[in-house]
Structure 1
């Protein structure tokens, strides 16, 4: 934490790998499965996120904070230092979460490496490094606690998804993950907004409140656009009657999309349209 240069260099290496080097390396290679690694990774982040939420709560949010204007405790008291430690741990968790994109690259899931994804994963650790340096705690840490709470749910979902097809029936709530993200940004923005209506507030770093408010509003707009594109217009979902070829088997889906964590798309199959052999059908498949 003595200098932002190592952190900035790491993030630049991350951007270079996920946007250029990684795709070039994987261009002529088969995607890695990484099933076991992803299961361990996701559930480890569930445990870490639970611990971070607990530490934020015990460091002030359910002990001494008012949930309104809470200043940063700059003393050397055990509770103040506990808040500094969990603020650093939250920042470090953002570094760990860079692996999300690395997994996408290695599994050749290029469609999931969106501007929203890359911006979120690179912007958060860079800004929070300054938060740990100058304002570890106080009302500016509210969004970190909320974000960690959401990540408990999110990485639990990812862990089940990576576990395989037998867990697909437990993932009916995928659509609501985006809704949970939207609720997160509403809560964060509302909590920051109250600062502007207070007669006085002793919080030492108003700039952070301004940034948190802009961050919550900006990401609410981005995630709302994702919601509209994916679940209203359906642009991020497979079109109806899409022909897919998986291991030589032609499958016609009805537009429903599922992922089993191993890079294979499954859909509801129209029984009469599913053939594993047959010259005429193979010819049509190749033409398609």
Structure 2
């Protein structure tokens, strides 16, 4: 089978149309703390509900489109370019731009604690990678990863939408959603490893899959596994 190599070089990334938005996003998150100092939090419930359900529907479309494209290719590691699948890659790239509004809403609502390194790294890197995939690698073998990510985001944004509708009694899925994300990245890593060994995949795919697994696993450990440190008697006295 003939393979097509597209090395990930710095000029490839800088020439992407999403690169200016990537830089603006990093600047926005870096200085977001000043907004909290100078303004009051906004109530954006209608926008949150609309945004989350739009993202849910968009993710369902890309999940269906990517899965259909991989199935029609007949081979998990196919590098055949089709107009139909290329369009799905473009829609996926558009959804990653829309998903940046997650961070904008956090800033406007003064949810600074939620703007973690994991959050910023994940959103900013997916912006560049989705654009890179559409521009250079609209292949079924890449669509496999996008399909898994879209499936997770269907559930994720449906959860966010329900949480926005009933903020006082949200569904208790957070732990299971994080588990789902970790499983996704483990599957990505396994597919990438096999692809690197046998089908000349870019080695970067291994690094990215591993980095996301580590970051999400670290979040899961601190959020759901590690028990909070119990206060010592003197701490209790000080807090009274």
The number of aligned residues is 221
Task: Give the corresponding residue for 2:5.
Answer: none
Task: Give the corresponding residue for 2:159.
Answer: 157
* C-alpha contact 1:49 1:149 (8 A) present in aligned 2: yes
Task: Give the corresponding residue for 1:28.
Answer: 38
Distance 2:230 2:163 in 1: 22
Offset from partner CA, 1:119-161 (integer Å, 9 cap, x none)? 1111111123222111111312211110011000000110111
**Alignment pair present for 1:214 and 2:216:** no
User: What is the deviation of 1:196?
Assistant: 4.0
Aligned to 1:55, the other structure's residue is in SS state: helix
Q: In the superposition, relative to structure 1, how do residues 165 and 102 fare at CA in structure 2: closer, same or farther (>3 Å)?
A: closer
Distance 1:92 1:128 in 2: 9
Q: Point out the more displaced range, 33-42 or 159-168.
A: 159-168
Q: 1:38 aligns with which of 19, 27, 48?
A: 48
Q: In the superposition, relative to structure 1, how do residues 196 and 14 fare at CA in structure 2: closer, same or farther (>3 Å)?
A: closer
User: What is the deviation of 1:28?
Assistant: 3.1
Task: Give the corresponding residue for 1:127.
Answer: 129
User: What is the deviation of 1:194?
Assistant: 1.5
User: What is the deviation of 1:14?
Assistant: 1.5
Task: Give the corresponding residue for 2:144.
Answer: 142
User: What is the deviation of 1:166?
Assistant: 5.7
Distance 1:196 1:18 in 2: 34
Give the TM-score normalised by the residue count of structure 2: 0.84
Distance 1:53 1:138 in 2: 12
Larger radius of gyration, structure 1 or 2? 1
* C-alpha contact 1:186 1:220 (8 A) present in aligned 2: yes
Task: Give the corresponding residue for 1:194.
Answer: 194
Task: Return the structure number with greater helix share.
Answer: 2
Distance 1:136 1:165 in 2: 39
User: What is the deviation of 1:47?
Assistant: 0.6
Aligned to 1:63, the other structure's residue is in SS state: helix
* C-alpha contact 1:72 1:135 (8 A) present in aligned 2: no
Task: Give the corresponding residue for 1:64.
Answer: 73
**Alignment pair present for 1:233 and 2:235:** no
Distance 1:197 1:23 in 2: 45
Runs of 5+ in structure 1 lacking a partner? Answer: 74-79, 241-286
Give the TM-score normalised by the residue count of structure 1: 0.71
* C-alpha contact 1:140 1:212 (8 A) present in aligned 2: no
Offset from partner CA, 1:29-67 (integer Å, 9 cap, x none)? 2211100100000001111111111111222x2222322
Task: Give the corresponding residue for 2:93.
Answer: 91
Aligned to 2:72, the other structure's residue is in SS state: coil
**Alignment pair present for 1:117 and 2:125:** no
**Relative contact order, CA 8 A, sep 6+: which one is greater?**
2
Distance 1:18 1:214 in 2: 24
Task: Give the corresponding residue for 1:101.
Answer: 103
Distance 1:131 1:184 in 2: 18
Task: Give the corresponding residue for 2:9.
Answer: none
Task: Return the structure number with greater strand share.
Answer: 1
* C-alpha contact 1:4 1:129 (8 A) present in aligned 2: no
